[in-house]
Amino acid sequence: MSVAPVSRPRPSTRFVRPTSPSASLTAERVSDAASRLEALSIVQQVYQQEKGWVANADGEFPESALSSPTSSGFVARLGDEAAGVVRLSYDPSFELPQAAGVEIDDGVDLARLAASGRFVEVGRLMIAPRFRARTAVVLALMRAALGAVVQRGYTHLLTVVFEDDPHSPYGFHTRVLGFERIGSHRHGELACASRRIILTLDIARAFERLRGPRAKLVQALAGGLEPDLAGLSPRR
């Protein structure tokens, strides 16, 4: 679906209080009006003001999603300041509209893939510009998301990342976590000209692969989740 360009608001020039390097880092579910406003503040900074991908941030974390069983959001905080967000959509459809310009990679059987496990779509993963150098922020968000996913018995992640956006998590997802590409599409909800790359991750297989060479990363992402991960059988 073609999306019209969005005019970019002028960046704010207000004074920003520096955050202490020792400030506590947390990631919690967006569950009430206050946490929703924090999530929207990140969307406004990144998708609306910096990138111009949306005209209005409200629809990215709607009020109706606060108690929805089909979606959830998480906000990371450094001290008392919102630093990043991520959104989960449970049981996403694998049917994309033709207008999106979808191209599935050779050898990928979508029907077989969809039947291979229970999927959750990871979207709207973004970090406030001043916190992007802190890898711990994205790790905290992914840990919170994984906790919600595996505790509900889901086995796979699905995500879409932009091909050439300078802040795309494509490299982190593929080189570090082990996401695999299954296709791409040209158009989507956001007013971005970049091609969208569709990625999937078998959670159990990914953590099995990471255990040896990246034990610290596994601990950062899944420490305390071992009982839930043990219930997910790696797909061969």
**Do the bridges between strand 196-202 and strand 180-185 make them parallel or antiparallel, or are there none, so unpaired?**
antiparallel
Quote the CA–CA distance of 45 and 117 in Å, as a whole number: 35
**Per-residue model confidence (pLDDT) at position 213:** 65
When pLDDT is cut at 50, 70 and 90, the band that residue 7 belongs to is very low
**Per-residue model confidence (pLDDT) at position 158:** 96
- pLDDT over 50 (residue 4): no
Quote the CA–CA distance of 113 and 126 in Å, as a whole number: 27
- pLDDT over 60 (residue 5): no
**Per-residue model confidence (pLDDT) at position 177:** 84
When pLDDT is cut at 50, 70 and 90, the band that residue 8 belongs to is very low
Token output for 22: 């020792």
Mean pLDDT computed over every residue of the chain: 84
Token output for 68: 């929805």
The sign one gets for the Cα dihedral 98, 99, 104, 110 is negative
**Per-residue model confidence (pLDDT) at position 217:** 72
Token output for 19: 């955050």
- pLDDT over 80 (residue 98): no
Quote the CA–CA distance of 50 and 126 in Å, as a whole number: 12
**Per-residue model confidence (pLDDT) at position 13:** 30
Query: Containing H/E element for 171?
Result: helix 170-171
Q: Which amino acid is at 9?
A: P
Quote the CA–CA distance of 60 and 53 in Å, as a whole number: 11
Q: Which amino acid is at 32?
A: D
Quote the CA–CA distance of 148 and 225 in Å, as a whole number: 10
The share of the chain scoring above pLDDT 70, in percent, equals 82
When pLDDT is cut at 50, 70 and 90, the band that residue 152 belongs to is very high
Please report, for residues 35, 38, 39, 215, 235, the alpha-carbon distance to residue 16 in angstroms, rounded to integers and kept in the order given. Answer: 20, 16, 18, 36, 47
Average pLDDT over residues 83-90: 96
Higher pLDDT, 115 or 96: 115
Q: What is the pLDDT of residues 11-59, one digit of tens each?
A: 333 333 445 555 799 999 999 999 999 999 999 999 999 999 999 999 9
Residue range 26-226 forms a domain whose CATH class is: alpha beta
**Per-residue model confidence (pLDDT) at position 221:** 74
Token output for 216: 């610290």
**Per-residue model confidence (pLDDT) at position 2:** 33
- pLDDT over 60 (residue 232): yes
